[in-house]
Every structure is written in structure tokens, then in C-alpha cells.
Amino acid sequence: MDVSDEIEKANKKAFDIMNRGKAMLRDFNYAGKVIPGMKENTILHAGPPIAYADMIDPMKAAVQGALMFEGKADSLEQADKMARKGDFEFKPCHEMNSVGPMAGITTSGMYVAVIENPEFGNRTYCNLHEGRGKILRFGATGKEVLERLNWMNEKLGPALKEVVKKNPVDLKNIAAEGVQMGDELHQRYRASSLLFLSAISGNLLELPNAREIFKFIAEREQFFLNLAMPAMKALADPADGIKYSTVVTRMTRNGVNFGIQVSGLKGKWFTGRVEPPVGLFFAGFSQKDAAGDFGDSAIMETLGLGGLSSAAAPSVTRFVGGTVKDAIHATELGYKITYGQSKDILIPAMDFRGAPLGIDILKVNETNILPTINTGIAHKQAGIGQIGGGISHPPLKAFNDALKEYAAAYGL
């Protein structure tokens, strides 16, 4: 048997599945009601597995804030003690068909979006978008954070549920249009967020509280982030578990480790230490304030968006002093480590070439080219929140370890 032929067939299958899938926004509901296996004491977090005691401070703070939101604790101190006692089951979002930006903390009583890939019958989930700055996913807590989360649960979630139940929304189509209009779908979401708002506006305007819902979404330029992420996961998950495939199906980070998973090594995490992102900081903050990179949002790059589609949004590259040429170069590098190109998501600046799709651990190890990840930057101290935006890269070690495991598993 020629193993290279088996790898090619398996990678083509994984690539075709990712390319062929759809991502339909079907519903919004409480996580405990719709996420399979979600229990009242389950707390989902971004990144590969990590114990509460080992989390970075912003992620711990997000856990504490979530326990207060759930009414399980009256203070951050009490929440911290409860989390350390072992009464809660901490699990990576990815292991529960879910994703979450930055800390990614999701509890059973939080509203989540429900996305279906009708081509393969799988569903994925993600919590709702808070906005920027002082927000739970960046480790900020306090009265305003909890009040916003409660409003989202009581008003935003139910309103969106009513709207999409009438008319499901094609999220992959919005992502494709957004890229045509200058989004790269990780840091810049201006076009796609407005496209989403336009798609739901007819049904939304029939609701009695339409004005406040419309205003909330319109004021949050990254609102589509929490929909695009589960959309991309919905496309990736059916490609997981294909024997011999070397295509990456998950990339994520928890502030301590960056983890990847590979289709032909289903369920196994390969990790390496993360570094703080490099980028543009809000006034009063600098590189020394940055926490290690965290969040499941690297699922966007896993499907060829974000940093791999930098050419679609050169303005994002300016975060690190880059130029249009640098943005195009980042996308050109993406083509060198992927199996092929998206048939639906086309990049105008690349002469409408499809976004790089299907990161291959063989090509990453051969070239030492690492995917560029566009990301937000959180303060390393809990309670402060977002302090900027920039780029990061996964550690080569994760890809090296994956290749070693692959060779052992397939007798190479």
C-alpha cells in the first residue's frame, strides 16, 4: 500500500467535506437545553483541556463572573472557592460541539446560538456577543458586565430566537459576502455584522423591543464573530476522524497552551505554549500588559479565514505596522500550507482566488510556515478586559508532535 496515495485520498475527502458544508443559524436557546451532555455543573472554556487552578487570571475571572451570573455565588471570592473545590466539570468548548471567543466561558443558563450543517446533520453552538472592552470573555467582571449578560439572556436571546425560528440564516453565505466587502472574518466584521442585521431586520422589526435589539447589534461591529465561529466549526467537524488525513480540524488556545487536532488522529490534542499577541494597544496599555493568547476563534483560520485571508482586509495588518503587500503575503503563505481553496469564499485582492482551506500538518512541518492568527488582546490582570488587537502564531511544537504521533499511529 502506498501511504502517500492514502493520505491524498483522505485529505481530498476532508477538504471536500469542509468545502461542501453549509452553516444555517437555526435557533437560540439556553446552553443546558440544547448542547448535548451539558449539565448544570458543566463549565465550558476555550482552548485545549485545562484545570481551573492552571487558568490565566482573565479566564479564572470569567469563570467567577459566570458563577455569579448563574446565581451560584454572591462574590468573586466565593466563586473562586467553589471553582477550586471540584464541584464543577470544566470541559473545552470543542469537546462539546461548541466554541467560545477569548475565555469562552459558557454555562448551562447562558443563551447560545444553534447552527446546523444540513449537508451532514451536525450542530454547533456558541454564546452571545457582548461587544468590546470591559466584558466577561476578556476576564472583566462587575455590575455592568453582569447586567449586560442578564439583559442578553432576558431580551436579546429570546428576540433572536423568535426571529431565526421564522427564517433561518445562511451564515456561510454572509461570511462569503463579508470577505468580498473587506472583512477577513476574525478581527474585522464590519460588513458581515451589518449583513446579518440586514438579513434579520424584516422579522426583527415586528418585535415590540426591536429598537433596543437593533441598536445593540448595530453598535457592536464584531457581533457576527459569535456566529461565524460556530459556523466554521459546523463546517470542520464532519471532516474530523478520517483515517490517514493530515488536515487540521481544530486550532484553539487557553492562555497557557495552544492546541490543535488532526482529522486522522481524532480526539487527540497536540499542544505548545502560547505567547502574548503582538499588536496595536488602546491608549494607556502596551505589550507588557498583554495576556497569553486565548480563545476558540482560531477556528476561523482553521477554515482559511482570519489571518489566512489577510489580503481581504489589509487594514487589520496595520495593527502591527504592516502594509497591503504584507497582508497579501500572509495569504500567499496560507496557500503553501493548505490543501486547496474555498469554492465559496473568494478574496478580491487575490484575483478572486478562494481562501486557503485545509491546513496540512505535513506542509507546516515541511515549510515551517505557521498560520497567522488575528486576535484580540486581553490584559493579563483580571477585571480590566480588552486592551487591543493584533496577531499571534501557533507553536511549531504542536505540529511537530502531531506529525510524530501520526507517524507512530500509521506505522510510518
Tens of pLDDT along 115-146?
A: 999 999 999 999 999 988 788 998 888 899 99
User: Does residue 313 carry a pLDDT above 90?
Assistant: yes
pLDDT on residue 1:
62
CATH class given for the domain over 21-231: alpha beta
- Which residues does residue 117 pair with via DSSP β-bridges, in sequence order? 122
Tell me, yes or no, if the two domains 21-231 and 241-409 fold the same way.
no
Q: How much of the chain, in percent, has pLDDT values that exceed 90? A: 86
| pLDDT, tens only, 334-374 | 999 999 999 999 999 999 999 999 999 999 999 999 999 99
Per DSSP, 94 falls in state G
User: Does residue 25 carry a pLDDT above 70?
Assistant: yes
Q: b/e string for 161-195 if b means 16 or more Cβ within 10 A?
A: bebbeeeebebbbbbbebbebbbbbbbbbbbbbbb
| Mean pLDDT computed over 266-272 | 98
pLDDT on residue 139:
86
| Mean pLDDT computed over 277-302 | 93
d(CA 281, CA 279): 6
pLDDT on residue 317:
79
Question: Domain limits of the chain?
Answer: 21-231, 241-409
Most distant CA atoms of the chain, gap in Å: 65
Query: Higher model confidence: residue 87 or residue 22?
Result: 22
| Mean pLDDT computed over 75-85 | 96
pLDDT on residue 279:
85
pLDDT on residue 320:
65
Q: Tell whether pTM > 0.85.
A: yes
Per DSSP, 286 falls in state -
Query: Which residue in 213, 191, 192 sits closest to 201, CA to CA?
Result: 213
Residue 316 contacts residue 375 (beta carbons within 8 Å): no
| Mean pLDDT computed over 208-221 | 96
CATH class given for the domain over 241-409: alpha beta
User: Does residue 38 carry a pLDDT above 90?
Assistant: yes
> Which of the four pLDDT bands, split at 50, 70 and 90, describes residue 325?
very high
Strands (E), 207-305: 248-254, 257-262, 270-273, 278-281, 294-295
Q: For residue 288, what are the contacts with CB-CB under 8 A and spacing of at least 6?
A: none
Phi, psi (5° rounding) for residue 400? -60, -50
